[in-house]
């Protein structure tokens, strides 16, 4: 699930006053600039829901309930975590109070028990929903006491436990990006796409967290790699190219191997989770291994056949990295504007969000978009 790190986030500038006709002309021009190069669609990709605000994460519980999240990146979103109902509508989850944070109320509400900037949601298949809150509105500095992992009981729809992540692990320029929960429920593994990039391990029994491979080449953006969208290099309004650190993450089904990569990077790495756990006492135990050459990607997902699904924003598509190291295109669809996060339902159906990052104010000032979508597709046999 992608974010712009504190070091890379673009400053959103206010447009000067203008007549309505001028605004309309500029808006139409913006639409023209960000329109897909070709209207290629794939009938296998089915729309599940549309949202008025930028969506990143999606997850599906063991009984088929769907949850999404809306980060507080370039707007003060009204809902951070939501359950998607059968008619496509959403309801704040687990309740209104946890979603009550607003930038204007920062001094009124505690960041310890409110969602500040939710980046990811993950159902563990054992009755819990896990919510990653890097607590960095606009991808700027973290809010004091805000970074946390929240566990919600899906049976009672109540928060079960809050795991605060202290400033020694999630510093002022940190941005906890995505998480994977160990099959035995003992550990949580995060990517941190902030500055510096790194991995974070959280002992879910003790609540202790520690950084691993912080500022290591395996968790940093790769120099010389340029993200392209719509056939052009992705640039901010000032002409600079964004640089995304550790972002994509996946955990093997047996919980023994963690995979990750920088979004602005072509190299996927892996490491044993045993080494990550030992790193709390011996940081030298964490030795990353290059696993595969891919391309800039955002979301990763490992299925029961040990295939790694890749969301490839450069071609609005999905590809599959097989156990043999071969990458095979699966689908391409112009509606997948920046394919972001994967989830898999109990029936095997794959879900994916389109977060439209290239269409955001970070890259197109004055442009607004209300076509953020959730899609589903059947994975190949």
Q: Give Dmax over CA atoms of the chain in angstroms.
A: 63
| Residues forming beta bridges with residue 128, ordered by sequence position | 153
Residue 33 resides in a domain: yes
Residue 372 pLDDT: 93
User: Where are the alpha helices (H) located in 35-168, listed in sequence order?
Assistant: none
Token look-up 């491979």 returns 213
The whole domain housing 86 covers 20-377
Residue 285: CATH number of its domain: 2.120.10.30
Residue 7 resides in a domain: no
Residue 256 resides in a domain: yes
Q: For 363, left (φ over 0), alpha (ψ -120 to 50), or beta?
A: alpha
Sign of CA dihedral 375, 370, 179, 324: positive
User: pLDDT digit string (tens) for 74-111?
Assistant: 889 999 999 999 999 999 999 999 999 998 877 789 99
Residue 297 resides in a domain: yes
User: pLDDT digit string (tens) for 302-357?
Assistant: 999 999 999 999 999 999 999 999 999 999 999 999 999 999 999 999 999 999 99
Residue 69 resides in a domain: yes
What residues have CB less than 8 Å from 340, skipping those under 6 apart? 1, 2, 55, 56, 57, 298, 299, 311, 352, 353, 354, 355, 357
Residue 152 resides in a domain: yes
Residue 15 resides in a domain: no
- Digitized pLDDT (tens) for each residue of the chain, 381 residues in all: 554 443 333 322 223 333 333 334 333 433 333 344 457 899 999 999 999 999 999 999 999 999 999 999 988 999 999 999 999 999 999 999 999 999 887 778 999 999 999 999 999 999 999 999 999 998 889 999 999 999 999 999 999 999 999 999 999 999 999 999 999 999 999 999 999 999 999 999 999 999 999 999 999 999 999 999 989 999 988 888 888 999 999 999 999 999 999 999 999 999 999 999 999 999 888 999 999 999 999 999 999 999 999 999 999 999 999 999 999 999 999 999 999 999 999 999 999 999 999 988 778 765 566 679 999 999 999
d(CA 203, CA 165): 11
Residue 3 resides in a domain: no
Give the number of domains in the chain: 1
């Amino acid at each position: 699930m992608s974010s712009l790190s504190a070091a890379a986030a673009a400053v959103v500038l206010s447009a000067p006053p203008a007549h309505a006709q001028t605004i309309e002309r500029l808006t139409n021009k913006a639409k023209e600039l960000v329109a897909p190069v070709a209207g290629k669609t794939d009938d296998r990709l089915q729309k599940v829901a549309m949202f008025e605000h930028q969506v990143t994460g999606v997850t599906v519980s063991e009984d088929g309930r769907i949850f999404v999240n809306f980060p507080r990146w370039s707007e003060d979103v009204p809902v951070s975590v939501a359950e998607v109902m059968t008619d496509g509508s959403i309801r704040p989850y687990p309740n209104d109070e946890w979603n009550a944070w607003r930038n204007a109320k920062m001094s009124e509400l505690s960041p310890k028990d409110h969602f500040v900037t939710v980046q990811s949601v993950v159902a563990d298949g054992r009755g819990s929903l896990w919510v990653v809150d890097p607590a960095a509105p606009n991808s700027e500095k973290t809010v004091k006491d805000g970074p946390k992992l929240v566990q919600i009981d899906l049976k009672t729809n109540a928060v079960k436990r809050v795991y605060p992540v202290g400033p020694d692990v999630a510093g002022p320029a940190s941005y906890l990006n995505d998480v994977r929960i160990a099959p035995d429920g003992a550990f949580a593994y995060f990517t941190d796409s902030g500055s510096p990039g790194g991995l974070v391990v959280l002992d879910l029994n003790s609540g202790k967290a520690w950084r691993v491979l912080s500022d290591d080449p395996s968790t940093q953006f790769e120099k010389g790699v340029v993200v392209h969208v719509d056939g052009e290099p992705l640039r901010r309004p000032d002409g600079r190219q964004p640089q995304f650190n550790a972002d994509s993450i996946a955990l093997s089904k047996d919980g023994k191997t963690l995979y990750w990569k920088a979004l602005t990077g072509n190299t996927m790495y892996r490491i044993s989770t045993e080494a990550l756990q030992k790193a709390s006492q011996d940081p030298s135990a964490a030795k990353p291994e290059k696993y595969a050459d891919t391309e800039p990607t955002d979301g990763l997902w490992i299925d029961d056949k040990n295939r790694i699904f890749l969301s490839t924003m450069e071609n609005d598509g999905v590809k599959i990295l097989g156990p043999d190291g071969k990458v095979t295109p699966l689908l391409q669809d112009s509606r997948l504007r920046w394919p972001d996060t994967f989830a898999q339902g109990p029936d095997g159906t794959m879900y994916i969000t389109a977060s439209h990052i290239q269409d955001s104010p970070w890259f197109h000032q004055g442009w607004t978009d209300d076509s953020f979508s959730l899609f589903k597709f059947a994975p190949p046999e």
